[in-house]
Amino acid sequence: MTYVLAIGDRSYSSWSLRGWLLFAKPGLPVTVETGRLYSDDFARLMAGFAPARMVPALRLPSGRVIGETLAIAETLAERHPDARLWPANPEARAVARWSAAEMHAGFSALRSHCPMNLRVSYADCAPPDTVLADLARLEELWALARCDFGAGGPWLFGDWSAADAFFAPVAARIAGYNLPVGAAAAAYVATHLACPAFCRWRAEGLAEGPDQPFYRRDWPTRPWPGAN
């Protein structure tokens, strides 16, 4: 028996993207089960992953179900040390976990104003000051990681890590809503948009069902800025 991961709509479910990347980037085998958000189909999916209540949820080979992306990340890191989900350097690893935890718990203004939607990109979403403050904090966290630990590659800590999985939907929001960030942050966003795993996820999402009305915004659109 392999791992089984419950996810929602690929175009919209930011936490599902995070959970899936924890398998896709290091090449860990997983079977995916999907449920459409805001529908009876989602209730059907979660009934099979009780007592978890939200996606992603993971069924271990033993049959045990665990929820919450941080728990999934730590469980996979323990079970698959060769996957190197966290940086090898202890200080880098501590900062990576801090960054992921802050992402997990915060940035409510950005989440609310700019829900992840990989099917559209807006030319201008008129971000309020609260969203701009969230962006400034993101740039601060990213600069800390890149300046202190990122010399070895384009990701936050050089090589890809679980921290990058946690920030992938944020990169998608910055691209999708044309949010204002500096050159260094824009380069990090571009790294996500060019990632083959991210491109695969987005392509599979575009092939899923109709648009979800909940995510519609009446703002002017532009072409998606990453690979199509």
Q: Is the pLDDT of residue 116 over 70?
A: yes
175's enclosing H/E stretch is: helix 162-176
Number of folded domains in the chain?
Answer: 2
Confidence at 33, pLDDT banded by 50, 70, 90: very high
- In degrees and rounded to multiples of 5, residue 199 shows phi and psi of -60, -40
User: Does 99 lie in the same domain as 68?
Assistant: no
From 49, 83, 117, give the residue that closes a domain. Answer: 83
User: Does 166 lie in the same domain as 101?
Assistant: yes
User: Does 71 lie in the same domain as 39?
Assistant: yes
Helix and strand element counts for the chain (H, E): 9, 6
CA distance linking residue 208 with residue 226, whole number of Å: 19
User: Does 162 lie in the same domain as 126?
Assistant: yes
Q: Is the pLDDT of residue 1 over 60?
A: no
User: Does 56 lie in the same domain as 158?
Assistant: no
pTM (global) more than 0.75? yes
Q: Characterize the bridge pairing of strands 3-7 and 30-34.
A: parallel
User: Does 139 lie in the same domain as 56?
Assistant: no
Mean pLDDT, rounded, of the chain:
96
User: How many Cα atoms within 13 Å fall on the side-chain side of residue 109?
Assistant: 13
User: Does 204 lie in the same domain as 174?
Assistant: yes
Whether 207 is in a domain gets the answer yes
Q: Is the pLDDT of residue 6 over 80?
A: yes
Whether 218 is in a domain gets the answer no
CA distance linking residue 172 with residue 52, whole number of Å: 26
* C-beta separation of 191 from 198 below 8 A: no
Q: Read off the pLDDT of residues 186-214 as tens digits, 9 standing for 90 and up.
A: 999 999 999 999 999 999 999 998 899 99
Q: Is the pLDDT of residue 110 over 70?
A: yes
Q: What 3-state DSSP class applies to 158? A: strand
The domain in which residue 196 lies consists of 90-213
Closest CA to 37 of 55, 58, 51: 55
Kindly report the CATH number assigned to the domain that includes residue 146.
1.20.1050.10
Residue 21 Cα to chain centre, angstroms: 7
Q: Read off the pLDDT of residues 122-178 as tens digits, 9 standing for 90 and up.
A: 999 999 999 999 999 999 999 999 999 999 999 999 999 999 999 999 999 999 999
User: Does 177 lie in the same domain as 71?
Assistant: no
Whether 74 is in a domain gets the answer yes
Burial classification of residue 92, based on how many CB atoms lie within 10 Å of its CB (0-12 exposed, 13-18 middle, 19 or more buried): buried
Whether 222 is in a domain gets the answer no
Q: Is the pLDDT of residue 227 over 90?
A: no
